[in-house]
């Protein structure tokens, strides 16, 4: 009898696991279940569609024939509502039971709503799926004024969409700068200036107290906690994700924010694995538990999970994640865990070029590069090698920094 693998989620983590399983286990039964109405597409390009810069076609990655060609049973529009680990089965919203030998949870997260009045009004958008992107595009094309909330990596996508679609927008931030947990004011100011050039005005020490709506229930304004009122016919909210763990509530599968897995992507239940945004994994690079929210990491976790579903312990996840912003005329890259650490070093290395490296116990744990991405490989190497850079951190700020510039004795 061949093994049967069930994968919940057809995002990049689930899909890359399906690909790897098919390659490594040609006779296995593979089922991929997704709540969405379409098969794998490029989630990190849907913003370009919403900006009006890309048509739909290049965003698809696996069309439905891919699943037939690879003998993968794809179930679209199917929500898994329950996992029964005692009987090795999942249950769908239609009451169907599907048994597995090995299960992969690649179920990601769902954007949070603001806990304020009228947060679900017409014209207020959250951004995760292609369907969201289609609605955002339609709404923003008709809009004149926008409000954006959420001073992080997803919020800035809304800013870029408003900019590209000629919507004058106010970007309401709670603190005094964009992504203040990873950047200092100096680095953030480069991003603020880029937003302003596109007609998006950052508003600091603000946020949303409530939204106002018209008689049809459509948003007309956001009112901030200072009582300032910002008229808008479009609003984009990106304040964080809730991880989709509710289907695991009555199971022994260990969860915290996400699903807890080891470096082999296995949960505390032997034949249940998880991959992608949903995991809180043992990060062998950081030496502690971590969570990533990036495409490359989710893809790699899917592949690693598949290898270990076939042969547990065969391949650990060892990866330095990165995430870039491609909206402006300069590049931006964050890598590792730029919001962690007990120390940091930063510098402006040239006009419009800025970098910051976060350190913990003398080791690089993450950072942000603006304008000049050339040291990215060196910084990732330092992370993987767990190099102690104590006493030499200023060298990391040298424009042409290379790993060999560090004193050799620091190698671990």
Partner 1 sequence: MRLRRTGRVPSDARVRHYDELDERTQAVVPELADRPRTALESADLEDGDVVKFTDCSLIRTR
Please report, as ranges, the residues that interact with ligand FAD according to CB under 6 A.
Answer: 8-14, 33-36, 43-44, 46-47, 79-80, 106-108, 127-128, 154, 157, 244, 247, 276-277, 293-296, 298, 323
Compute the least distance from the CB of residue 318 to partner 1, in Å.
13
Span 34-73, contacts to partner 1 by CB under 8 A: 42, 44-45, 48, 53-55, 57-59
The distance of closest approach from Cβ of residue 332 to partner 1 in the complex, given in angstroms and rounded to an integer, is 9
- Residues belonging to the chain: 412
Going edge to edge, which strands form the sheet with 97-99? 80-84, 89-92, 97-99
Among partner 1, ligand FAD, none, residue 388 binds (CB under 5-8 Å by kind): none
CB 103 within 8 A of CB 21: no
Pick between residue 35 and residue 372 the one whose CB is nearest to ligand FAD: 35
For residues 264 and 256, what is the distance between their CA atoms, to the nearest angstrom? Answer: 18
Applying CB under 8 A, the site for partner 1 has a residue count of 29
Supply the minimum distance, in Å, between the C-beta of residue 349 and partner 1: 14
CA proximity to 289, closest of 246, 312, 259: 259
Instruction: Tell me which residue of 318, 354, 316 sits closest to 336, measured CA to CA.
Output: 318
Residue number closest to ligand FAD, CB atom: 276
Please give the residues from 296 up to 315 whose contact with partner 1 meets the rule CB under 8 A.
296, 299
Contact 333, 323 (CB under 8 A): yes
Q: For residues 357 and 364, is the Cβ–Cβ distance under 8 A?
A: yes
Partner touching 329 among partner 1, ligand FAD, none, CB below 5 to 8 Å by kind = partner 1
DSSP type of residue 120: T
Question: Using the rule CB under 8 A, is 327 a contact of partner 1?
Answer: yes
Query: Which does residue 165 touch among partner 1, ligand FAD, none (CB within 5 to 8 A, set by kind)?
Result: none
Task: Specify the residue, 323 or 379, whose C-beta has the smaller distance to ligand FAD.
Answer: 323
Choose the one of ligand FAD, partner 1, none that binds residue 376, judging by a C-beta under 5 to 8 angstroms depending on kind: partner 1
Helices 130-141 and 155-164 pack at an angle, to 10 degrees, of 40
Rounded least distance, CB 181 to ligand FAD, Å? 17
- Residue 13 binds which entry of ligand FAD, partner 1, none, with Cβ cut-offs from 5 to 8 Å by kind? ligand FAD
Helix (H) or strand (E) holding 280: strand 279-283
Tokens encoding 86: 């005692």
d(CA 297, CA 102): 22
Cα–Cα distance, 121 to 48 (Å, whole number): 25
End-to-end Cα separation, the chain, in angstroms = 47
Least distance in Å: CB of 298 to ligand FAD? 4
The distance of closest approach from Cβ of residue 406 to ligand FAD in the complex, given in angstroms and rounded to an integer, is 28
Q: Say if residues 30 and 7 touch (Cβ distance below 8 Å).
A: yes
CB 279 within 8 A of CB 319: no
Tokens at 76, concatenated: 């679209």
Q: Judged by CB, which is closer to partner 1: 2, or 377?
A: 377
- Measure the CA angle with vertex 273, ends 271 and 279; round to 5°: 155
Q: What character string, x for contact with partner 1 (CB under 8 A) and - otherwise, covers 365-394? A: -------xxx-xx--x--------------
Write out the residues near partner 1 by the rule CB under 8 A: 42, 44-45, 48, 53-55, 57-59, 294-296, 299, 322-324, 326-331, 372-374, 376-377, 380
């Amino acid at each position: 009898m061949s093994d049967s693998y069930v994968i919940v989620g057809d995002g990049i983590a689930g899909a890359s696991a399906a690909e790897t399983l098919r390659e490594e286990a040609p006779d296995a039964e593979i089922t991929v279940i997704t709540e969405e109405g379409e098969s794998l597409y490029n989630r990190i390009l849907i913003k370009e569609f919403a900006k009006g810069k890309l048509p739909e076609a290049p965003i698809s990655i696996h069309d439905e024939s891919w699943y037939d060609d690879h003998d993968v049973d794809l179930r679209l529009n199917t929500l898994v509502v329950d996992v029964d680990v005692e009987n090795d089965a999942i249950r769908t919203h239609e009451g169907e039971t599907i048994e597995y030998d090995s299960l992969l949870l690649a179920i990601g997260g769902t954007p949070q709503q603001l806990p304020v009045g009228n947060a679900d009004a017409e014209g207020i958008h959250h951004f995760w799926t292609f369907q969201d992107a289609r609605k955002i595009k339609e709404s923003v094309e008709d809009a004149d004024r926008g409000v954006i909330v959420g001073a992080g990596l997803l919020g800035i996508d809304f800013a870029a969409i408003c900019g590209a679609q000629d919507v004058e927008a106010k970007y309401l931030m709670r603190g005094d700068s964009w992504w203040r947990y990873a950047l200092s004011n100096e680095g953030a100011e480069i991003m603020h200036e880029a937003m302003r050039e596109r007609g998006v005005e950052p508003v600091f020490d603000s946020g949303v107290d409530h939204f106002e709506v018209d008689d049809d229930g459509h948003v007309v304004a956001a009112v901030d906690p200072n009582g300032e009122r910002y008229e808008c016919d479009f609003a984009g909210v990106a304040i964080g994700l809730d991880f989709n763990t509710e289907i695991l509530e009555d199971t022994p599968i260990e969860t915290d924010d996400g699903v807890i897995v080891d470096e082999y992507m296995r949960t505390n239940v032997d034949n249940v694995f998880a991959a992608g945004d949903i995991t809180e994994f043992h990060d062998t690079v950081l030496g502690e538990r971590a969570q990533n929210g990036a495409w490359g990491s989710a893809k790699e976790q899917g592949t690693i999970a598949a290898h270990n579903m076939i042969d547990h312990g065969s391949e650990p996840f060892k990866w330095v994640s990165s995430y870039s912003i491609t909206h402006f005329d300069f590049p931006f890259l964050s890598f590792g865990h730029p919001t962690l650490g007990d120390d940091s070093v930063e510098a402006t290395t040239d006009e419009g070029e800025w970098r910051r490296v976060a350190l913990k116990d003398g080791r690089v744990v993450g950072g942000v590069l603006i304008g000049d991405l050339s040291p990215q490989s060196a910084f990732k190497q330092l992370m993987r090698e767990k190099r102690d850079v104590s006493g030499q951190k200023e060298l990391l700020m040298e424009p042409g920094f290379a790993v060999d510039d560090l004193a050799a004795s620091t190698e671990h």
